[in-house]
């Protein structure tokens, strides 16, 4: 006898990112008998696994009435194969949704409630709609310090967690938003060369022309699993891997995606996001770089102070030492925008090139110095000098090469096939740069997918230019992408504010 509500799986290859979707004919026996219509939430059973999914109905011959399909995410969650049978039913009651409603109505959530929400975020029981309501309900600082603490704990519980057989595991993290701020690729080798353990994981670009993981990938593979990452650390004290491949905070990956759709930065979520990843990576001492400026994430010292207090207090409760460092976030760091162009800035700093961007070098040494002061062997106030020496002596460059080799590298940064120099149409001093538009041009040129593509900025703020002087270069791997970026420039956008000085 066949089981109830059974359909046969056919692949359609539809990627919805992390939303589980099941595709079924509107006139299939299951939709008809259960009264299912899009966008119902349904329970999908496959062998011994159960997920909740959103129903999209098919009104064409993509499927027969006895077939169903799944989005890529749902397909992976169920480890399904072509021709397998699934059963589809009405979903059970979701306790976590009760808790979210409770939060909407202003209740304080306890540990078990937050844990149940995070568990259901990760296993897909809560849809994007539910998660969005949860995040909105915690906005305006409606999450207490206690709740942020539970949130962080719960996010750690649902992911992998690394333990090291050492007491001092350091890390650094930057509250994003500042273009070209690739200090991580310089801080990690300095710290590792000194002898401290720094298991650094980074993200890829989401909306920017390059993330730290994208830039590192110019030099070496970054998609290492936990075991491979552990081996690199054991050999070289440090690593530079993509966080997505080690699954340290799967809840965070999902919550961040919804926050991005809402363009919402809730303080509680930001704190839990950072701390959960650091603690999951086994860190004991962490430096957090908080750039403050008009176009970055943290815009006022008041909100920087609030963030600092939460990070340090909740870090302490969770057993790690967090030190927050405020830095200048008023303009981009270095010259390159795009993976390979940023990689060249990093290379210049590591190799001691006299033309290396000083802003990148200075910031990296300062942050590395702060990290080094976690060591009992570095006196307070001397970290900067120790870091500077490791960098200028070439030890950091040696260590960087060793880390790349351990990760499966070291590659030469690629050079773009096509290049166009953009010149100034007037004489004057560069007063301001619209980083968002500059980033946009870099993306249109192909970054970060095309590693060599992007922008090389030639005139930072304060530069005096004459008519016809080069302002920046556009690099692209294909002629079409170069055209695309140049065409965008010809539209009505001023990237540079050039003052009319005599």
Residues labelled as active-site residues: 265
- When asked if residue 97 is in the footprint of its own copies (CB under 8 A), the reply is yes
- When asked if residue 195 is in the footprint of its own copies (CB under 8 A), the reply is no
Site track for its own copies across 259-288, x = CB under 8 A:
--xxxx------------------------
Q: Is 290 left (phi over 0), alpha (psi -120 to 50) or beta?
A: beta
- When asked if residue 381 is in the footprint of its own copies (CB under 8 A), the reply is no
Q: CB of residue 83 vs its own copies: minimum separation in angstroms? A: 16
Residues 105, 219: Cα–Cα separation, whole Å:
50
Nearer to its own copies, 133 or 156 (CB): 133
Of these, 39, 83, 394, 499, which contacts its own copies (CB under 8 A)? Answer: 39
Residues 239, 40: Cα–Cα separation, whole Å:
44
Of these, 127, 152, 154, 327, which contacts its own copies (CB under 8 A)? Answer: 127
Burial of 167 (0-12, 13-18, 19+ CB in 10 A): exposed
Cα 355 from chain centroid (whole Å): 30
- Sign of the C-alpha dihedral computed for residues 245, 250, 256 and 257 taken in this order: positive
* 3-state secondary structure (DSSP) of residue 169: strand
- When asked if residue 376 is in the footprint of its own copies (CB under 8 A), the reply is no
* 3-state secondary structure (DSSP) of residue 423: strand
CA angle 449, 222, 159 (to 5 degrees): 110
Choose the stretch contacting its own copies; rule: CB under 8 A; options: 37-45, 116-124, 193-201, 342-350: 37-45
Q: What is the DSSP string of 318-378?
A: TT-EEEEEEEE-SS--SSEESHHHHHHHHHHHHTT-TTS-HHHHHHHHHHHHHHHTTSTTS
- When asked if residue 257 is in the footprint of its own copies (CB under 8 A), the reply is yes
- When asked if residue 13 is in the footprint of its own copies (CB under 8 A), the reply is yes
Of these, 45, 136, 226, 432, which contacts its own copies (CB under 8 A)? Answer: 136
- When asked if residue 490 is in the footprint of its own copies (CB under 8 A), the reply is no
Site track for its own copies across 63-92, x = CB under 8 A:
--------xx--------------------
- When asked if residue 434 is in the footprint of its own copies (CB under 8 A), the reply is no
For 6, the enclosing helix (H) or strand (E) is strand 6-9
**Per this entry, what is the length of the chain?**
502
Residue 432's CB is within 10 A of a number of other CB atoms, namely 16
Residues 190, 398: Cα–Cα separation, whole Å:
10
From 174, 192, 200, 283, select the one nearest 236 (Cα to Cα).
192
- In the chain the first and final C-alpha atoms are separated, in Å, by 90
Residue 305 makes CB contacts below 8 A (sequence gap 6+) with: none
Nearer to its own copies, 71 or 181 (CB): 71
- When asked if residue 60 is in the footprint of its own copies (CB under 8 A), the reply is yes
Check: CB of residue 427 under 8 Å from CB of residue 466. Answer: yes
- When asked if residue 58 is in the footprint of its own copies (CB under 8 A), the reply is yes
Q: CB of residue 318 vs its own copies: minimum separation in angstroms? A: 27
Choose the stretch contacting its own copies; rule: CB under 8 A; options: 35-43, 278-286, 298-306, 410-418: 35-43
Residues 301, 306: Cα–Cα separation, whole Å:
9
- When asked if residue 43 is in the footprint of its own copies (CB under 8 A), the reply is no
Nearer to its own copies, 72 or 146 (CB): 72
Of these, 20, 53, 70, 100, which contacts its own copies (CB under 8 A)? Answer: 100
Q: CB of residue 351 vs its own copies: minimum separation in angstroms? A: 30
Q: CB of residue 56 vs its own copies: minimum separation in angstroms? A: 5
- When asked if residue 302 is in the footprint of its own copies (CB under 8 A), the reply is no
Q: CB of residue 447 vs its own copies: minimum separation in angstroms? A: 8
- When asked if residue 435 is in the footprint of its own copies (CB under 8 A), the reply is no
* 3-state secondary structure (DSSP) of residue 439: helix
Burial of 123-154, coded b for 16+ CB within 10 Å and e otherwise, reads: bbbbbbebbbbbbbbbeeeebeeebbbbbbbb
Q: CB of residue 488 vs its own copies: minimum separation in angstroms? A: 10
- When asked if residue 242 is in the footprint of its own copies (CB under 8 A), the reply is no
The count of residues interacting with its own copies (CB under 8 A) is: 62
- When asked if residue 456 is in the footprint of its own copies (CB under 8 A), the reply is no
Binding site for its own copies (CB under 8 A): 4, 11-17, 19, 23, 26, 29, 32-35, 37-39, 41, 56-60, 62, 71-72, 97, 100-101, 104-106, 127-130, 132-137, 139-140, 257-258, 261-264, 443-444, 446-449, 480-481, 484, 487
């Amino acid at each position: 006898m066949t089981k109830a509500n059974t359909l046969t799986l056919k692949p359609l290859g539809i990627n919805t990112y992390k939303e589980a979707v099941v595709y079924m004919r509107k006139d299939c026996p299951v939709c008809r008998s259960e009264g299912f219509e899009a966008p119902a939430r349904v329970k999908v059973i496959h062998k011994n696994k159960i997920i909740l999914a959103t129903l999209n109905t098919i009104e064409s011959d993509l499927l027969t009435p006895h077939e169903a399909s799944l989005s890529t995410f749902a397909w992976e969650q169920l480890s399904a194969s072509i021709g397998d049978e699934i059963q589809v039913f009405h979903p059970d009651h979701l306790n976590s949704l009760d808790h979210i409603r409770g939060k909407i109505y202003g209740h304080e959530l306890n540990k078990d409630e937050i844990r149940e929400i995070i568990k259901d975020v990760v296993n897909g029981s809560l849809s994007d709609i539910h998660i969005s309501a949860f995040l909105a309900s915690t906005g305006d600082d409606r999450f207490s310090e206690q709740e942020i603490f539970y949130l962080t704990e719960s996010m750690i519980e649902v992911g992998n967690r690394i333990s090291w057989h050492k007491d001092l595991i350091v890390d650094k993290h930057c509250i994003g938003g500042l273009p070209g701020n690739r200090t991580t690729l310089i801080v990690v080798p300095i710290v590792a060369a000194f002898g401290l353990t720094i298991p650094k994981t980074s993200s890829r670009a989401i909306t920017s022309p390059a993330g730290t993981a994208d830039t590192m990938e110019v030099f070496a593979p970054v998609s290492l699993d936990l075991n491979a990452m552990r081996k690199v650390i054991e050999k070289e004290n440090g690593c530079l891997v993509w966080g997505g491949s080690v699954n340290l905070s799967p809840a965070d990956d999902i919550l961040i995606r919804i926050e991005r759709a809402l363009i919402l930065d809730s303080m509680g979520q930001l704190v839990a996001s950072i701390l959960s990843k650091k603690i999951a990576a086994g860190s004991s001492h962490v430096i957090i770089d908080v750039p403050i400026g008009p176009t970055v994430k943290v815009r006022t010292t008041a909100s920087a102070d609030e963030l600092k207090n939460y990070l340090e207090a909740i870090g302490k409760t969770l057993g790690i030492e967090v030190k927050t460092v405020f830095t200048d976030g008023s303009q981009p760091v270095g010259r390159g925008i795009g993976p390979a162009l940023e990689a060249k800035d990093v290379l210049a700093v590591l190799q001691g090139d006299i033309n290396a961007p000083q802003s990148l070098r200075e910031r990296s040494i300062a942050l590395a110095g702060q990290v080094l002061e976690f060591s009992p062997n570095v006196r307070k106030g001397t970290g900067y000098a120790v870091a500077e020496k490791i960098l200028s002596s070439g030890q950091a460059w040696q260590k960087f090469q060793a880390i790349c080799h351990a990760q499966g590298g070291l590659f030469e940064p690629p050079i773009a096939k096509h290049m166009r120099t953009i010149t100034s149409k007037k004489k004057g001093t560069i007063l301001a740069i619209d980083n968002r538009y500059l980033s946009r041009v870099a993306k249109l040129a192909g970054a970060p997918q095309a590693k060599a593509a992007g922008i090389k900025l030639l005139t930072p703020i304060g530069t005096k230019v004459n008519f016809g002087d080069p302002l920046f270069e556009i690099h692209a791997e294909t002629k079409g992408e170069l055209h695309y970026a140049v065409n965008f420039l010809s539209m009505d956008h001023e990237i540079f504010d050039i003052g009319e000085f005599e």
